[in-house]
Chains A and B, each alone.
Chain A
């Protein structure tokens, strides 16, 4: 890799270094709790699929070019030069990560490995070493997004055509209603009486009646709830009343 390409790639790297990214690059203590978080690692237990190791591949380049230790004592933190071989390593790690952010939940600091992978991907795109089909698809989407107005009318017409079929199938329900509203914000269900947003099933799970097992549970579920990692108490009659009165 010639020095000019490297300079350009490092400029791309620099552009990603916002506050959160620097937190993530600086703070990892390599405790290894994220080891079992990665489902790629679960099926192929190799060190290179551990979240901290993926991040470390990017971090080594960061140490080399953005920290004094990279010049003074590279072996201290395994700082690594940005070369073709390093790009290959970045490629392997970046495109075997699905970006699910499961490791972020495991990490005691909440390090977002997926975000660090975005540096790896940016470097690869900058070096024209990424899987080409991905860039092509992304470019197409961006191009389409630019001329959204141009596609809008055709899309609305398509929705209108769909309406005929819905009316044919649900005559009774559709009578005297806007069958498919296109000017309402928020998620709208076709199968639900319009235009009510889809109810959250997640919320319903948490408000299921809890079995009463004495005061210790209510204490556990109060202000101390974060300690045990359980959801806080479902709102009682009194809190509901309070909300109704003062909300």
Chain B
């Protein structure tokens, strides 16, 4: 069992990050190498400055807000929660002064960020069971949402156990030691992770996150990087 733990927590993490970084770079480079479209793809009416409208379209999704406000709400909650969770994970690497401008315990939001992400993911998942989105969906849409949900729920529940139920065997110190050893290329898995009753939750979280990172460059997740260039095309 410990070998499986080690394989997931160390070699697979390196592999996942390698696939994520090189895969994404490769995909983006491959797309950028293709010839540009001959004519303008700008929509009417022209807005000035175009780049500002493109940025607003990308980050605030005004067309969704207008045509499907409920979806917009959950999308906004989900994307915001993901952004906060990324910040939370950055704080696990070390003490970042910059991120502690508003002093808080590590993982912003007292566990509610993870809850918001899980609930909005459930919304996004279950709306795919209803027409007309059901008719549009293909299997990989469901797979991706399930994968994301598993990642978020196993990650969040570690936070919930600490914040809401006073679980204190496995905590930020262990995560920090583990992550820092990965960054400095001296991989080491603390005993708390291997032997505590909660360790397998972390292993599952890391496992699903690894799988997610590995499939990232080859799925529609690339919209993370392509949304802005596409909206720039639209705004001209």
Contacts and interface: CB of A to CB of B under 8 A. Distances in A.
* A and B assemble together: yes
B67 A33 contact: yes
A18 B64 contact: no
A19 B57 contact: no
Interface string B52-74: 11011100111110111001000
Nearest to B62: A229
A32 to B, nearest CB: 4
A110 B230 contact: yes
Contacts of B230: 23-24, 27, 109-111
Interface in B181-236: 218, 220, 222-223, 226-227, 229-231, 233-235
- The size class of the interface chain B forms with chain A is 35 or more
Given A27-B226, A108-B64, A19 B36 contact: yes
- Which of A27, A36, A112, A231 has the most C-beta atoms of chain B within 10 angstroms of its own C-beta? A27
B64 A109 contact: no
A76 interface: yes
B147 to A, nearest CB: 13
Nearest to B235: A110
Interface string B122-144: 00000000011101111111010
A229 B66 contact: yes
B226 A19 contact: no
Contacts of B135: 47, 50, 53
Contact of A110 (B36, B57, B67): B57
Interface stretch (B3-11, B37-45, B105-113, B171-179): B37-45
Contacts of A228: 62
A219 interface: no
B97 interface: no
Nearest to B56: A226
Contacts, number: 135
A104 B43 contact: yes
A19 B31 contact: yes
A77 B233 contact: no
B138 A17 contact: no
B50 to A, nearest CB: 10
A39 interface: no
- The size class of the interface chain A forms with chain B is 35 or more
Contacts of B229: 23
A227 B132 contact: no
Contacts of A112: 41
Contact of B226 (A30, A69, A78, A109): A109
Contacts of B68: 32-33
Interface in A2-60: 17-24, 26-33, 35-37, 47, 50, 52-53, 56
A18 B35 CA distance: 5
B56 A19 contact: no
Contacts of A28: 220
Contacts of B45: 202, 231
Nearest to B138: A78
B34 interface: yes
Given A56-B138, A77-B140, A78-B138, 14 more contacts: A19-B32, A19-B34, A19-B35, A20-B36, A32-B68, A32-B132, A32-B136, A33-B68, A50-B136, A77-B138, A77-B139, A108-B57, A108-B63, A109-B226
Interface of A: 17-24, 26-33, 35-37, 47, 50, 52-53, 56, 68-69, 75-78, 101, 104-112, 115, 202, 223, 226-229, 231-232
Interface of B: 31-32, 34-38, 41, 43, 45, 47-48, 52-53, 55-57, 60-64, 66-68, 71, 131-133, 135-141, 143, 218, 220, 222-223, 226-227, 229-231, 233-235
- 10 pairs of A and B residues whose beta carbons are closest in the complex: A110-B234, A47-B135, A226-B56, A20-B37, A32-B133, A19-B34, A78-B138, A226-B53, A30-B136, A109-B230
